[in-house]
Structure 1
Amino acid sequence: MRKNWWTDTSTANWVDYLISWLASGLAAFSCGQAVGSDKVSTLGVGIVTIGTLLSYLARVLGGDQKWTKLAGPIYCISAWAAFLGVRYINGAIFEEGTFPIELMPSSWLYWMILLGTCFLWRDGTLIFHLVPALAMFGFVGCYDTFRPVVILFFIFLVCFAIMFARAHAREMQTRAKESGYFNHTSQSQLSAMDESEVLREGPWRWAAGAEWALGSAMIIVLLSALGAPVIQAGAKPIAGFIAVRQPTLRNAANRLPASSSAVRDTAKVGDGAVDLSNRPYFEVKGDIPGYLRTAAYNTWTGRMWQRVSPLSPNEVYETATGNPLGVEDQAFAQRMKNPNQVPGTPPGEYRTQSILVNSLIATSEIPQAGNSPICQHPRGVLPSVDGVVAAASLSIYSAAISFDEVEPRADASVPKKLPGSIFANLSKENLAPRLVAEAKKITKNAKSDAEKMELIRSAVSRMIKYNTKVPATPVGEDPAAYACFESREGYCDVFATSVVQMGRAVGVPCRYTIGYLPDLQNRNSVGTQILLESDRHAWAEAYFDGVGWVPYDATMGADVVPGGDRRHSASEGITAVQVISMFLNGLIVLALVVGGYALYKARTAPKTPEIVKAELDRNYLVFIGNVWRFTGNRRLLSETTNEYLARVESRLGEHASAAGEIGTEFTNMMFSR
């Protein structure tokens, strides 16, 4: 019979060890990527490769020798050694902080996998070795520090299913051999490899083959892949309120999304579709306002916003003409920074609002509100630049922010004179002419500057439909003007930019602001708010005398393109990983359909003479065995069936006649042509 290493399940061969190497290697690689260390990944895959090779050689050379039966105890000893020595091993090999305390259990599993690969000499350890690898994927997926783990975990599950199926087939072949099945087939002199092939043709074909085991394992994979989104959706109302502190990775700055790892000096606009995840970024408690800014920009280039310090931040300018009026005095500067503070009011009474922010990732962003907020950061009181606080470097922190409560007034107006830091937000450079004309048209009958801004906000809300899937703005076009007059679609960046440009066109200081728009669905009963990546937002802010910076969000009330809202983008939008997941799900369904059809055909197809002969042999052995147990007399090798039945006729009693008829029938079927 031709050798087929894939279908040969008589003993674990190189196929099993190749699958074990792939599964263990994926787990070790994922662990390294989760902690942001290529060294951990490379070392892990290397040791897994060497250990698997040594185990395969031990299996080939050792066979069934007694020492190979010690694989289980030795494996347990290596696992215990990994547990006891994990800190010392990590300290000797890796840089300090490679494995943060939150991921320390994964470090133990990592070394358990690496050391255990050297002792996979028998089926027991070969299969059990996949358990710590499975737990490893659980840790990596829990903290969501390595997103491609979804794809690697699926590959791991397939490897697990195949390993389980092949081990099951070997166990069934052993049982068939112990039952004496091969001693009564037409091919009594068979090699172990040939026995595994014969089992697929005889009555053991479904019990001994890998089909049932692989099928059951694949069903588990299918339920996991398709059922996980359902479980996730069902658990979100509860799980959404639970904040999980993200591990502090040694090189977190290089691994976090660029949108949140640091406060940037530029913000692009009209750059194409966005796809934000539901990854938690902050936990906020206290007096949570409707908008939490993290950065503000004052200079428009025609394609992006920049934070540019004014040439003379302390210089005072006439609002209407832009003429310099000299250097501001202390009282004027204080009033501009804290415009709604009643003279003589202590700062503690003025800043009546406060929040406690716990970052769940390493970041320099600080969610805040109001005018000139004060931030008590672990690094001290952080300075405010143009009324916005930001940390100097990335960190995971807990900070208390106090700020004043901004109360917009319908009759609010722009101050007659402004300091350079605020006057910079009146710049008319690079404003789109069509937006300037539209702003003047919209506000010609407005009675106050605050009314102008509300008219502009409302107009932009009607002009643009919200769509996170919108393509990038064509080269040479102003993104805001293009969205308002051409595409009529966009997301928060073009809404905010349109309002800022139009507000400046009618003489109102406006700035482009980014931050978070808290979703009330992620706030629990005690007021703890979780800010997700999908809560990131952009809006305009206008400055008024005696009020300060007031948010104007034109996305509120805007029509939404079906499937284009930001929540849909985060929870239902199709990402690259989801496309691959859908493809793999399709393959699983197709495999199940094809497997089911093949099973049906195999069960209903006409039996070959070899299969009929094997089933007849089996039934004959069952019949003779029953007669033996009933009479207590064993059939002699020299006796024919009829001779044996005649000898035990007296013991069969009333069953002798029926037994004789069955024996004659077997004789006719087995020896007739």
Structure 2
Amino acid sequence: MNGSGLKRGLLDHVLALVGCVFATYSLGISVAKPVLGLTLAGSCVFSVMVGSLLSRALAKSKVIDYDGWFAAALGLAAVFFTLPINRLLPDDGFPIELIAGCGLSLLVIFAGFAAWRDGTLLFLSLPCIAMFGLVGTFDVYKPATALFFLFLVCIAVLYARVYLRSMTERAERLGADTELLRRDAWKWVAGPEWAFASAGAIIVISLLTGPLLQVSLQGVSGTVRVNLPQSKTPFIPAAVTQTQVDVKVGGGPVNLSDMVQFSIKMDRARYLRSRSYATYRSPGWVEPFDTLNPDFDLSINSGVVGQLSKDSYQLIPGNSSPFEPFAKPKDVRVTMKPYRPVDLYLPAPGPIVGVVGDSEAFVRVRYDSAAYKVPLGYGDQVSYIVQVDGDPKPTTDTALPKLIRSLERVLASPNSATAKIRDFANQVTSGIRDPYQKAQAIKSAIEQLAKYNTQTPACPADKDPVEWFLFEHKEGYCDSFASAMALCARAVGLPARYTIGYAIDEGAKGDDGYYVVRAKDAHAWCEVYFAGHGWVVFDPTEGARDVSASKESATDDKKPWFEKPIGKAILIGVITVCLAVPFFVWAWFLASARTAALKGDPNMIKLVWAQNDMQKAVERLAKRPRRFSQTMRSFVQAHGDVLGTHRATADELADDFERLMFSGATVGIEQVKEMQARVKSFRAAVKKVPPQDG
């Protein structure tokens, strides 16, 4: 009774645990919250291991028989306390739209404490499958496919072991010799092979139908919004300052996702503003432009078509925006279909001067940006009119429009920059009088000076991030480039601001005319104001050398080990081993189960080989292999017609093999030799019979 798989042990708990860890970790990563994923995975390790210890401690107690009730009670507690526990999780837990993911994770963790027997161990796989379903529909974490495959292998091995134990226990209760169940064809009915073959079929079906299911559910998954944390977008890297709306510059490496944020239709690919910032206060930007509340000169209200107040402003389409008046305005109709909330602000290539139709119920215009009034779901869309510059020729006038002229003390103040940055800006613009050419000179200087690298480490806490970027490290991503451009422009008297949003190109345009905007398109740039032309984009990342994946990057040694080439090679090797090991374990497991009843009995082993020789002879004539679940007697009966005159001999041999193997009597060497001789004679005789046609 100590054969492979007959005794529940640590291996069974580890198999269940690996599946739980893979599922919870993948779910955390899929919502761009790695710390959350690690926390959930670690909690699974703790709970399942505690459950393993309890199963040993309670092995001889009647309490263990109530593991299902304990698991059910803990599962209900997990569901009941999902919301309060979610608020305690790191990374702010799961978004409320994905609270089901939190509930499933807690169900696994809580039930793990009561996973004492086979039934409760297998139960843990059910919520894990649901979690992988969530991960698959969002299709964000690519390694989840490999982890799901490993999960299936682990659960298949566990299922095979559980099935072997259950069948053996049932046979014992009925008085059968359990050793006989592991011989010949019976092992495929009562042993782990049948269970593992069934699980293997599930794996194959999953691999074949998984992509189809994923595609069919992605439309539904769009109604579930996944808010990527600002630390994962290039314009708000790492942490934020104490003020919630502040943006930290130089916060460390960013990992960009392919997750679709929204689709948008407009005349051509443009920079899409979401929000702008006015004040730089090391180590970042404060005071979003739409919260500054400039002192409006309300006396001009009579000359403006629309509504104007200190809180909001909305124009009728076709009228110029007083916050960003254009000499030759061009109206662009924009239609946006959100897949999930990108942030609270609508993306637009210019000031929003009106909303179209029912969109008024969704949009609130504030100064030169617009925010959602109510949450938008998958299938909703908003249309609005945006004004852009219809005459993009350079100008020399940088005077701010009257409504925001009071902000000039901030937007064009040289004091925004440090002395070192001011010296740099004055040096690169020396001898240039034209404001537009000054801005271009600053942009070119930054492009030549610094390299673009999304894996740039965080700026030291005791240094100004823009100074550190320009004069020491000389590598960064868009937040550093945009900040340097804005501060240098202000240093020479140009009104400039820091803007975040999305940068898209024509390659993102689909056949339906919509541009597909992904999280990795998030961007930051500088805008300099020119009278009659509005806020003009100056993006120094355009001409900067991208060394994000280059070995020449000065930060390669500072990358996490798993992002270095050797680290990636190690990870690939580990994944390969992880994929191979379960199959070797499975082969060993089946081989052990197959031969356990024969160990110590060389005569029985020789008898099995003799039967195999007979089987090959019949298979040659039938041109079909013997099925795993088919006894030798049924195999001979199924193909007796091709044996001809040798049918009777084959029937006798099959009956004798079955009697010797399953009678329980000791098989002597003389009996084995006799059977070997009879099989040899049978094979010689049937060689003269031609194989069956077809």
Judged with a 3 Å threshold, the aligned counterparts in structure 2 of structure 1 residues 406 and 106 are, in CA distance, closer, same or farther, namely same
Which residue of 350, 358, 370 maps to 1:389?
370
Judged with a 3 Å threshold, the aligned counterparts in structure 2 of structure 1 residues 264 and 222 are, in CA distance, closer, same or farther, namely farther
Judged with a 3 Å threshold, the aligned counterparts in structure 2 of structure 1 residues 112 and 378 are, in CA distance, closer, same or farther, namely farther
Aligned to 1:290: 270
Q: Is the 8 A contact 1:411 1:448 kept in 2?
A: no
Q: How does 1:553-564 map to 2 (within 5 A)?
A: 553-561=539-547, 563=549
CA offset at residue 411 of structure 1? 3.4
1:528 and 1:578 mapped to 2: Cα distance?
36
2:524 and 2:673 mapped to 1: Cα distance?
94
Aligned to 1:455: 441
Which residue of 325, 342, 363 maps to 1:339?
325
Q: How does 1:220-239 map to 2 (within 5 A)?
A: none
Matched, 1:354 2:316: no
Aligned to 2:260: 280
Cα displacement string for residues 269-321 of structure 1 (whole angstroms, at most 9, x for unaligned residues): 122221122222222223354211111111112321111679882379xxxxx
Judged with a 3 Å threshold, the aligned counterparts in structure 2 of structure 1 residues 573 and 172 are, in CA distance, closer, same or farther, namely same
Aligned to 1:585: 575
Judged with a 3 Å threshold, the aligned counterparts in structure 2 of structure 1 residues 422 and 244 are, in CA distance, closer, same or farther, namely farther
Cα displacement string for residues 470-528 of structure 1 (whole angstroms, at most 9, x for unaligned residues): 12223443323332332221111111112112211222111111111125444311222
Aligned to 2:65: none
Q: Which has the larger radius of gyration?
A: 1
Q: Is the 8 A contact 1:499 1:540 kept in 2?
A: yes
1:542 and 1:266 mapped to 2: Cα distance?
21
Q: Is the 8 A contact 2:16 2:158 kept in 1?
A: no
Aligned to 1:269: 249
Q: Is the 8 A contact 1:291 1:517 kept in 2?
A: yes
Q: Is the 8 A contact 1:168 1:213 kept in 2?
A: yes
Aligned to 1:345: none
Aligned to 1:501: 487
Which residue of 593, 608, 615 maps to 2:605?
615
Aligned to 2:129: 134
Q: Which amino acid aligns with 2:273?
A: R
Q: Is the 8 A contact 1:300 1:429 kept in 2?
A: no
Q: Is the 8 A contact 1:281 1:359 kept in 2?
A: yes
Which residue of 147, 161, 165 maps to 1:166?
161
Q: Which amino acid aligns with 2:136?
A: G
Matched, 1:299 2:279: yes
Matched, 1:403 2:386: yes
2:475 and 2:455 mapped to 1: Cα distance?
9
Judged with a 3 Å threshold, the aligned counterparts in structure 2 of structure 1 residues 210 and 431 are, in CA distance, closer, same or farther, namely same
Aligned to 1:517: 503
Q: Which amino acid aligns with 1:588?
A: C
Aligned to 1:187: none
Aligned to 2:346: 366
Judged with a 3 Å threshold, the aligned counterparts in structure 2 of structure 1 residues 214 and 521 are, in CA distance, closer, same or farther, namely farther
Q: Is the 8 A contact 2:499 2:527 kept in 1?
A: yes
Q: Is the 8 A contact 1:266 1:307 kept in 2?
A: yes
Q: Is the 8 A contact 2:335 2:383 kept in 1?
A: yes
Q: How does 1:5-44 map to 2 (within 5 A)?
A: 7-10=3-6, 13=8, 18=13, 22=17
Mean Cα deviation higher: 296-305 or 327-336: 327-336
Q: Is the 8 A contact 2:264 2:334 kept in 1?
A: no
Which residue of 530, 546, 565 maps to 2:532?
546
Judged with a 3 Å threshold, the aligned counterparts in structure 2 of structure 1 residues 410 and 223 are, in CA distance, closer, same or farther, namely farther
Mean Cα deviation higher: 259-268 or 393-402: 259-268
| SS at structure 1 position matched to 2:224 | coil
Matched, 1:247 2:224: yes
Tell me how large the CA RMSD over aligned residues is.
7.0
TM-score calculated relative to the size of structure 2:
0.60
Matched, 1:629 2:651: yes
Q: Which amino acid aligns with 1:499?
A: M
Q: Is the 8 A contact 1:31 1:110 kept in 2?
A: no
Q: Which amino acid aligns with 1:515?
A: G
CA offset at residue 425 of structure 1? 0.8
Q: Is the 8 A contact 2:294 2:406 kept in 1?
A: yes
Judged with a 3 Å threshold, the aligned counterparts in structure 2 of structure 1 residues 147 and 457 are, in CA distance, closer, same or farther, namely same
Percentage identity across paired residues of the two chains: 23
The gaps in structure 2 that reach 5 residues or longer are 63-67, 69-76, 85-93, 309-319, 593-597, 615-631, 634-647, 686-694
Matched residues, number: 578
Cα displacement string for residues 606-658 of structure 1 (whole angstroms, at most 9, x for unaligned residues): xx993633222435778899858359998999999999999xxxxx9xx9995
1:531 and 1:470 mapped to 2: Cα distance?
24
Mean Cα deviation higher: 584-593 or 574-583: 574-583
Matched, 1:467 2:453: yes
1:352 and 1:643 mapped to 2: Cα distance?
95
Q: Which amino acid aligns with 2:608?
A: R
2:203 and 2:323 mapped to 1: Cα distance?
59
Aligned to 1:83: none
The gaps in structure 1 that reach 5 residues or longer are 62-74, 76-88, 184-191, 317-326, 343-348, 603-607, 647-651, 663-673
Matched, 1:427 2:413: yes
Which residue of 132, 152, 157 maps to 1:157?
152
1:526 and 1:109 mapped to 2: Cα distance?
39
CA offset at residue 452 of structure 1? 1.7
TM-score calculated relative to the size of structure 1:
0.61
Judged with a 3 Å threshold, the aligned counterparts in structure 2 of structure 1 residues 17 and 339 are, in CA distance, closer, same or farther, namely same
Q: Which amino acid aligns with 1:446?
A: I
Judged with a 3 Å threshold, the aligned counterparts in structure 2 of structure 1 residues 264 and 548 are, in CA distance, closer, same or farther, namely farther
Q: Is the 8 A contact 1:286 1:355 kept in 2?
A: yes
Matched, 1:414 2:376: no
Q: Is the 8 A contact 1:378 1:398 kept in 2?
A: no
CA offset at residue 401 of structure 1? 2.8
1:350 and 1:503 mapped to 2: Cα distance?
27
Judged with a 3 Å threshold, the aligned counterparts in structure 2 of structure 1 residues 410 and 94 are, in CA distance, closer, same or farther, namely closer
1:243 and 1:287 mapped to 2: Cα distance?
29
2:95 and 2:462 mapped to 1: Cα distance?
48
Judged with a 3 Å threshold, the aligned counterparts in structure 2 of structure 1 residues 584 and 549 are, in CA distance, closer, same or farther, namely same
Mean Cα deviation higher: 100-109 or 21-30: 100-109
Matched, 1:443 2:420: no
CA offset at residue 412 of structure 1? 0.7
Q: Which amino acid aligns with 1:503?
A: A
Q: Is the 8 A contact 1:496 1:540 kept in 2?
A: yes
CA offset at residue 460 of structure 1? 1.2
1:9 and 1:454 mapped to 2: Cα distance?
73
2:187 and 2:601 mapped to 1: Cα distance?
10
Q: Is the 8 A contact 2:262 2:336 kept in 1?
A: no
Q: How does 1:564-583 map to 2 (within 5 A)?
A: 582=572
Judged with a 3 Å threshold, the aligned counterparts in structure 2 of structure 1 residues 644 and 477 are, in CA distance, closer, same or farther, namely closer
Aligned to 2:639: none
1:91 and 1:382 mapped to 2: Cα distance?
37
Cα displacement string for residues 77-106 of structure 1 (whole angstroms, at most 9, x for unaligned residues): xxxxxxxxxxxx99999889x999999999
Q: Which amino acid aligns with 2:224?
A: P
Q: Is the 8 A contact 1:28 1:110 kept in 2?
A: no
1:469 and 1:283 mapped to 2: Cα distance?
28
1:523 and 1:244 mapped to 2: Cα distance?
22
Q: Which amino acid aligns with 2:263?
A: E
